[in-house]
Chain A
Amino acid sequence: MSSLINSIDFPYVLGALIKVVIFWITIMIICAYAVYAERRVLAVIQNRLGPNRVGWQGLLQPFADLIKFIFKEDIIPMSVNRALYVCAPIISLVPAMMVLIVYPFGPDNLPLPGGEFLTQTINDLTTKLGLGWNVDLRSVNLHVTHFNVGILYIFAMTGLGVYGIVVAGWASNSKYSLLGGLRSSAQMVSYELGLSLSVVAVLLMAGTLDLTEIVRQQSGWGGMRWNIFGGTSAGEGLKSLAMAIPAIIAFFIYLISAIAETNRVPFDLPEAETELVAGFHTEYSALKFALFFIAEYVNMTTVSVLATSLFLGGWNGPFINVFPWLGPIYFLGKVFFFLFLYIWLRGTLPRLRYDQLMNFGWKFLLPAALFNIALAATIAVLVY
């Protein structure tokens, strides 16, 4: 048994756990306030006030909503398949949350204020306890982990999220839920192709699947050498700007597919209120509905994080080399921009018809993404 304990790197595990908790809380707060922002911004677009009673300007509204969700009666309709009905929101939320371990929040080796003191204290304490840890907190990495297949991992987890919706639609035993679940799974599977193929153009530029490495590569030109401006793959000089053409095309394909993948307006057919009541979550209420709701917003955050890291330089920005702590601020700012874009689109665009949606995905986006890969490869060969 002693070999088992020796084989665990306790400081690493503990540090990862602390980071996971901090990032989890950050994402939860972002999601809660994204819901609030959505209601307020939509209200501004539609010339009304929106929630402004709970706290100053309604800023405590997310907590009021949460309390309401917790205390509402949790109804389980009689004709549902009980086990699957209860599992579906969990299946939906867990893969969505698992993605956050590869979010690159900031640059590597950020100097931690007071890190010197913390390092000293913890090392002294563990020496006294006889554990003998050698912790170094003078600088931190703002990501839980990074691995060789980071982007594939994100796609794998977002791909698993579809089961939550399908299972919810099936287990609810209601025709609205079933139709919503069927539509949703078909839509998500279709647009996943456009989503992953548009990313391939960026991968050709980056030459790696590791998300932190892709972001790190974009730090040239004083933090402005983003992939959407051509990235670093084609070497120095202005000719690398040629790669910007496929990158911009890929960015728009990614953006459209991402909105469809997260089932948001104008692609929100799975929950089209006027036709399907509320789609796959028609029969859900209280906390189970809230879990679906959180999963949707976490997924929105994930595709925003991916768009930020792949196309807009992640934590890179002006003066990043001078003030490394600007990194997380740039990163979150860009993510908020995409979240705002979601709300903006919701306030502006009407919903597509289902056949239009499928035709658009299969007959336009997929060929466009394939063409874009060929274009990116051609330019890469010519410019190198």
Chain B
Amino acid sequence: MEQFAQIQVSHLFFLAFASLAVVAAFNVILQRNPIYSAIGLIVVMCSLAGLFLTLSAEFIAAIQIIVYAGAIMVLFVFVIMLLNIREEDAKADRQKYLKFLAVPLFLALIGVVMAALKTIGNPAASSNVPGTVENVAEGMFTNYLLPFEATSVLILMAIVGSMFLARRESAEDTNEIETALNAANQPTAVEESSEEEVHA
């Protein structure tokens, strides 16, 4: 507990971002509506970017928001909106036992990790602070050039693969999105009746 005598602003930032991340992460797994899960995940990613800043990893923090929150999660939200996924039915759940397995497993895993963490003590931070664009670029284009180039090939494969998977098989389903949108925008029975009242 002697750590708490030395409390600083960075500790407060850590606690704020960490609690935000944990709450949002629970939001991701407990919501039944995928769009709420997606928003939870966006919050987790932004608070992790804040935590990276407390570790003075400025470049990674910026990239975290640009790539994860600004590109990958936009794709997720885009797909959720495009397919117009609403809340799923609970009855479709075939593997209910998994849910009861989840809670004890969750607690057990946390317990094991916390027990392991007790053994590492409190190592001092290095005086050498990596994290500026220069540091990262130097590493990326000298020692780690090959992995970096390999990732660009991976990206190219992903582009080709996803275009092949998502391409339309025939012309007849080109109107599919519009039909899906129209179907989803039909007001439900309750709203319909109240709308009629307004019109009347």
A–B: direct contact at CB < 8 Å? yes
Q: Chain A: residues with CB nearer than 8 A to chain B? A: 1, 3-4, 7-8, 78-79, 84, 147-149, 152-153, 155-157, 159-160, 162-163, 166-167, 169-170, 173-175, 178-179, 181-182, 185-186, 189, 192, 209
B132 in contact with A174 (CB, 8 Å)? no
Per CB-CB distance, the 4 closest pairs between chain A and chain B, nearest first, are A159-B70, A152-B62, A156-B65, A7-B8
Task: Chain A residues near B65: list those with CB within 8 A.
Answer: 156-157, 159-160
B6 in contact with A3 (CB, 8 Å)? yes
Check if B69 is an interface residue, CB within 8 A of chain A.
yes
Given the known A-B contacts A4-B9, A7-B9, A175-B182, are A148 and B58 also in contact in the complex, defined by CB atoms under 8 Å?
Answer: yes
A148 in contact with B133 (CB, 8 Å)? yes
Q: Chain B: residues with CB nearer than 8 A to chain A? A: 5-12, 35, 39, 42, 46, 49, 58-59, 61-63, 65-66, 69-71, 74, 77-78, 81-82, 132-133, 181-182, 185, 187, 191, 194
B181 in contact with A178 (CB, 8 Å)? yes
Task: Chain B residues near A159: list those with CB within 8 A.
Answer: 65-66, 69-71
A178 in contact with B69 (CB, 8 Å)? no
A156 in contact with B194 (CB, 8 Å)? no
Task: Chain B residues near A8: list those with CB within 8 A.
Answer: 9
Contact partner, B132, options A148, A156, A169, A178, Cβ 8 Å: A148
Task: Chain A residues near B11: list those with CB within 8 A.
Answer: 4
Task: Chain A residues near B185: list those with CB within 8 A.
Answer: 173-175, 178
Number of A-B contacts (CB under 8 A): 92
B59 in contact with A149 (CB, 8 Å)? yes
**Nearest CB in chain A to that of B194: its residue:** A78
Task: Chain B residues near A78: list those with CB within 8 A.
Answer: 191, 194
Q: Which of B62, B132, B187 has the most CB of A within 10 A?
A: B62
Kindly state the separation between the CA atoms of A162 and B66 in the bound complex, as whole angstroms: 12
Task: Chain B residues near A149: list those with CB within 8 A.
Answer: 58-59, 61-62, 132-133
Task: Chain B residues near A178: list those with CB within 8 A.
Answer: 81, 181, 185
**Nearest CB in chain B to that of A166: its residue:** B77
A169 in contact with B81 (CB, 8 Å)? yes
Kindly state the separation between the CA atoms of A8 and B13 in the bound complex, as whole angstroms: 12
Kindly state the separation between the CA atoms of A148 and B164 in the bound complex, as whole angstroms: 40
The contact sample of 13 A-B pairs, CB cut-off 8 A, is A4-B7, A7-B8, A78-B194, A79-B187, A84-B35, A160-B46, A162-B70, A166-B78, A166-B81, A169-B81, A175-B185, A182-B78, A192-B70
